[in-house]
């Protein structure tokens, strides 16, 4: 092997050797899972030498570091083969031996160390930075259990543990030589790193994702054991290893909250110590630290980096407070991901005092320093500037003050930050604020998941430059009226729809019609994302067909995919409600040939890769001003699905690129919401909009059964009565219902002319160039990190 060639003999010999030593099986007898593992190990052998070379190439350069509590990586095998440009060769070799590559691929567990958009963005950024030859290293936590596996039991979500490395993890290298100690007030924990290679497309640059695993100082205490205290001998290890046990431990108790805080400090401290150790090998002067390091905080989860870097620089490296402050703010930058006030992270002062007293003292000093700065500038210090306020620590304020850059993730979001949410801060530090509209990697979300469309694009553009330069898709615009091209595009869409139908048949046991419109909403379950609005629409459509069986309906398959946070009662109620609607619709013979509802179980990256390419319609229907950017919207666009959506997040920029006439925009805009907020009475649409009362009332009139959980009554009350923490229908579902329904009618009319529909779909593909995470990462590298390419 060598270069980008995978030679047949060598591949098979190496796989066989792996199988013999690790599974005690020959190729003939090995299971698909065992073959997947053997193949992956062989691929790692290919990666390793280039990985080291790539690292050496950047030894003296400034590097960027991404601190994130989440990485939603998905599967690695095919992605690595594609980026190494040997996928086809490997596939051919294996298939000639009677193995089915797709079957091996399906054996890999998703590395699902994240919840949704924020974690998937981190994964896309790593892929883009490596591809664009930027030295970007990811730091995070190696959770033993990633996001839970979702099952439905009688329509209710049930969570199961996701022990993703149970059968081993061929993609990580344990680095005991780089372990560090993290000190809590009354506990010392060992942070043990595992490195995963991030292979850039073309294999020129291979970066690293370093994930920390927590262990006790003494994994096992022999002395204690020999005193017959068998439990005691393991105690330290059990307590410490809890830190990296699960992603988002239940935090409804104080214990749970403390554990989350420990997770944050654990990975931030370990990562910063790691950087400092490395820096010391070649440098002495820590006043230069920021010239070699740019550290991006992915939301406020790693915000404790501000006081921790101050601690390391002032106490361990003996910089003055002033010098350390300059280095810290110049090194760190912060990305804000949400406008929702309740999602802005804050911690009780008491937790910090108990767990991290030294860090608390530093935060207090930072807080005071800001007040002095404000006083000197003659500015009053309102609540918005109090990092410590009413016994809590505001992590967002700490992040803005302790860094040189605060960015939002779409134009609208950044403007709302500047003008409303963080206006005080923007007025104080206008130069710190900037926008970086999110993006997605076209390697995973088109080249890998939709090879057929990829091939067509490459043929039309006369090359595959688009794989590393998505703006090239502009060149597709000229085929927007070309019947032959649109027909081939249509054939591909139909093929992807058939493939999804087969997959859904197997995994959900539901038969869907590939000729129907695939209308898809896939994203985390949250009230602001308004899955309930789509459910009400489906139910209304159902009742209208029952009233008027002769009414024409273009056949439609409504597909949902979503996990609800385990403690989010309402989100779980919405899942149960959708599953009840699904049962009603799918079991009614009158709906045959008209509509079907699917709620895919355990939505995740590998499932997403099958859903986006098959979509006809992308549902992006959040309450305006609530979705910071969205990235699912971009994956749909890139695969040729027009959006039905609100003027929110990146939807606005999507429509700008693809044309409003090629998408379906509806509903209240941010300004509309501002102007009606005070006077809004959801009873008005509830009473006046034809059919709306009928669907809302199914929550309480016995149509559906929530098994006395009170879930449906709670949803009903949230819409019409409100609760002590919110007004009725604070996400404006009832107000937007009529316009949504009207727009869905337009969708149906437009789709009847399938040729014309494919023109809209094509305009979306051709306009998707802006939404590559390659573009986003170039902007971070140039405008925030000031990095040079390798």
Ligand X SMILES: *Cc1c(COP(=O)(O)O)cnc(C)c1O
Residues at the contact surface with ligand X, assessed by CB under 6 A = 116-117, 120, 523-524, 604-605, 608, 630-632, 635
DSSP labels, 563-580:
---TT-HHHHHHHHHHHH
184: enclosing H helix or E strand: strand 180-184
Choice among 63, 367, 443, 524 that is catalytic: 524
Residue 135 to residue 740: CA distance in whole angstroms:
45
User: Which of the residues 404, 635, 741, 760 is marked catalytic?
Assistant: 635
The CB-of-123 to ligand X minimum distance in angstroms stands at: 9
Neighbouring CB atoms inside 10 A of 683's CB total: 14
Residue from 14, 41, 311, 337 carrying the catalytic annotation: 337
Provide, rounded to whole angstroms, the least separation between the CB of residue 631 and ligand X: 4
- Report in angstroms how near the CB of residue 36 gets to ligand X at its nearest: 21
Nearer to ligand X, 402 or 632 (CB): 632
Cβ–Cβ under 8 Å, residues 758 and 483: no
**Shortest distance, position 614 Cβ to ligand X, whole Å:** 14
Least separation in angstroms between CB 150 and ligand X? 12
Nearest residue (CB) to ligand X, 497 versus 524: 524
- Identity of the residue, 122 or 545, whose beta carbon is nearer to ligand X in the bound complex: 122
**What 8-state DSSP symbol labels residue 320?**
-
Q: Which residue from 81, 115, 710, 762 is spatially nearest to 460, judged by alpha carbons?
A: 762
Strand ranges for 287-379 from DSSP E? 293-298, 332-335, 346-348
Which of residues 19 and 409 has its CB atom nearest to ligand X in the complex? 409
**414, 53 Cβ separation under 8 angstroms:** no
Residue 631: active-site member? yes
As a whole number of angstroms, the distance between CA 283 and CA 281 comes to: 6
Written as six digits, the tokens of 211 are 């994930």
Of 370, 300, 66, 297, residue with least CA distance to 198: 66
Min CB(74)–ligand X separation in Å: 7
Q: How far is the CB of 619 from ligand X (least distance, A)?
A: 9
Q: At closest approach, how far in Å is the CB of 118 from ligand X?
A: 8
Distance CA 754, CA 489 (A): 12
- The C-alpha atoms of residue 598 and residue 504 are separated, in whole angstroms, by 9
**How many Å separate Cα 316 from the centre of its chain?**
36
Strand, helix or coil for residue 209 = strand
Report the first-to-last Cα separation within the chain, whole angstroms: 25
Which residue, among 332, 286, 312, 347, has the nearest Cα to 183 in the 3D structure? Answer: 312
Closest distance between ligand X and the C-beta of residue 115, in Å?
Answer: 8
Active-site annotation holds for 523: yes
Nearest distance, CB of residue 258 and ligand X, angstroms: 28
* Count of beta carbons in the 10 Å neighbourhood of residue 5: 10
- The rounded distance, in Å, linking the Cα atoms of 634 and 643 is 10
Please name the residue ranges forming H helices in 150-253: 222-226, 235-241
β-pair partners for 595: 556
Choice between 107 and 338, CB closer to ligand X: 338
Options 41, 394, 413, 529, the catalytic residue: 529
Backbone angles phi, psi at 53, to 5 degrees: -60, -45
Are 692 and 734 a contacting pair, CB within 8 Å?
yes
- Nearest-CB residue to ligand X? 632
In the bound state with ligand X, the residue whose beta carbon lies nearer, of 686 and 771, is 771
Q: Where are the alpha helices (DSSP H) in 513-604?
A: 531-547, 569-586
Active-site residue 550, yes or no?
no
CB of 131 or CB of 622, closer to ligand X: 622
Closest CB to ligand X among residues 191, 615: 615
Q: Please list, in sequence order, all residues whose beta carbon lies within 8 angstroms of the beta carbon of residue 738, skipping any fewer than 6 positions away.
A: 685, 689, 692
Nearer to ligand X, 435 or 651 (CB): 651
Whichever of 54 and 631 has its CB closer to ligand X, that residue is: 631
Given the residues 328, 403, 557, 631, select the one marked as catalytic: 631
Catalytic residue, candidates 311, 436, 496, 523: 523
Q: Which of 277, 249, 247 is CA-nearest to residue 181?
A: 277
Buried b / exposed e across 96-126, counting CB within 10 Å, b at 16+? eeebebeebbebbbbbbbbbbbbbbbbbbbb
Active site residues: 337, 523-524, 529, 631, 635
């Amino acid at each position: 092997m060598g270069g980008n060639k995978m030679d047949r003999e060598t591949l098979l010999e190496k796989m066989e050797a792996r199988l013999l030593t690790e599974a005690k099986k020959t190729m003939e007898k090995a299971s698909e899972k065992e073959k997947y593992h053997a193949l992956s190990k062989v691929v790692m052998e290919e990666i390793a030498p280039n990985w080291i070379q790539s690292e050496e190439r950047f030894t003296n350069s400034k590097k960027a570091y991404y601190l994130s509590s989440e990485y939603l990586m998905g599967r690695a095998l095919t992605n690595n083969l594609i980026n190494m440009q040997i996928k086809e060769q490997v596939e051919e070799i294996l298939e000639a031996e009677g193995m089915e590559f797709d079957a091996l691929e399906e054996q890999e567990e998703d590395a699902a160390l994240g919840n949704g958009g924020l974690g998937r963005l981190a994964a896309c950024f790593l892929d883009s930075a490596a591809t664009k030859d930027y030295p970007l290293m990811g730091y995070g936590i190696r959770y033993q259990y990633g996001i839970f596996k979702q099952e439905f039991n009688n329509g209710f979500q049930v969570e199961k543990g996701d022990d993703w490395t149970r059968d081993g993890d061929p993609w990580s290298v344990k680095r005991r030589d780089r372990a560090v100690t993290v000190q809590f007030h009354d506990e010392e924990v060992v942070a043990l790193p595992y490195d995963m290679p991030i292979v850039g497309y073309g294999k020129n640059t291979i970066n690293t994702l370093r994930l920390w695993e927590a262990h006790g100082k003494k994994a096992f205490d022999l002395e204690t054991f020999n005193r017959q205290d068998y439990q005691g001998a393991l105690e330290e290890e059990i307590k410490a290893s809890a830190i990296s046990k699960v992603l988002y431990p239940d935090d409804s108790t104080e214990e749970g909250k403390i554990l989350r805080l420990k997770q944050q400090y654990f990975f931030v401290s370990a990562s910063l110590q790691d950087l400092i150790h490395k820096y010391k090998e070649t440098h002495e002067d820590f006043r230069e630290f920021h010239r070699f390091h740019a550290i991006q905080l992915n939301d406020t989860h790693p915000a404790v980096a501000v006081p921790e870097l101050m601690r390391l620089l002032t106490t361990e490296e003996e910089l003055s407070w002033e010098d350390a402050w300059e280095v810290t703010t110049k090194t760190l930058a912060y990305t804000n991901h949400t406008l929702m006030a309740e999602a802005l992270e804050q911690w009780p002062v008491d937790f910090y005092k108990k767990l991290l007293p030294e860090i608390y003292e530093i935060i207090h000093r930072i807080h005071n320093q800001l007040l002095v700065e404000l006083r000197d500038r003659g500015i009053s210090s309102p609540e918005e500037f109090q990092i410590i306020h009413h016994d809590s620590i505001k992590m967002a304020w700490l992040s803005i003050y302790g860094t040189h850059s605060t960015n939002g993730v779409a134009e609208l979001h950044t403007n709302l930050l500047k003008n409303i949410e963080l206006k005080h801060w923007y007025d104080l530090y206008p130069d710190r604020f900037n926008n970086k509209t999110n993006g997605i990697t076209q390697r995973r979300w088109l080249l890998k998941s939709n090879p057929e469309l990829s091939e067509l694009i490459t043929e039309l553009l006369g090359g595959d430059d688009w794989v590393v330069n998505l703006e090239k898709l502009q060149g597709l615009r000229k085929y927007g009226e070309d019947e032959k091209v649109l027909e081939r595009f249509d054939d591909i869409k139909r093929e992807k729809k058939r493939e999804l139908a087969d997959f859904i048949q197997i995994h959900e046991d539901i038969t869907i019609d590939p000729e129907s419109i695939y209308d898809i909403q896939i994203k985390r379950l949250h009230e602001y994302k308004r899955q309930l609005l789509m459910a009400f629409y489906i139910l209304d459509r159902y009742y209208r067909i029952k009233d008027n069986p002769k009414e024409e309906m273009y056949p439609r398959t409504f597909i949902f995919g979503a996990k609800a946070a385990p403690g989010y009662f309402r989100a779980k109620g919405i899942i149960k409600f959708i599953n009840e609607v699904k049962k009603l619709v799918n079991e009614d013979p009158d709906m045959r040939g008209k509509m079907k509802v699917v709620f895919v179980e355990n939505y995740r990256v590998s499932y997403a890769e099958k859903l986006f390419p098959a979509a006809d319609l992308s549902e992006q229907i959040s309450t305006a001003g609530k979705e910071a950017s969205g990235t699912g919207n971009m994956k749909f666009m890139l695969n040729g699905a027009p959006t039905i959506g609100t003027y929110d997040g990146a939807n606005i920029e999507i429509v700008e690129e693809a044309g409003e006439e090629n998408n379906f925009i509806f509903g209240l805009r941010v300004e509309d919401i501002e102007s009606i907020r005070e006077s809004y009475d959801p009873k008005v649409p509830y009473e006046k909009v034809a059919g709306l009362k009928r669907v809302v009332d199914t929550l309480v009139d016995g149509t559906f059964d929530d098994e006395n959980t009170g879930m449906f009554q709670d949803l009903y009350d949230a819409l019409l009565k409100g609760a002590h923490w919110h007004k009725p229908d604070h996400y404006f579902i009832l107000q937007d219902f009529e316009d949504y329904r009207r727009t869905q009618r337009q969708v149906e009319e437009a789709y009847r002319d399938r040729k014309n529909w494919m023109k809209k779909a094509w305009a979306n593909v051709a306009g998707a160039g802006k939404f590559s995470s390659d573009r986003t990462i170039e902007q971070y590298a140039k405008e925030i990190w000031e990095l040079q390419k390798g």
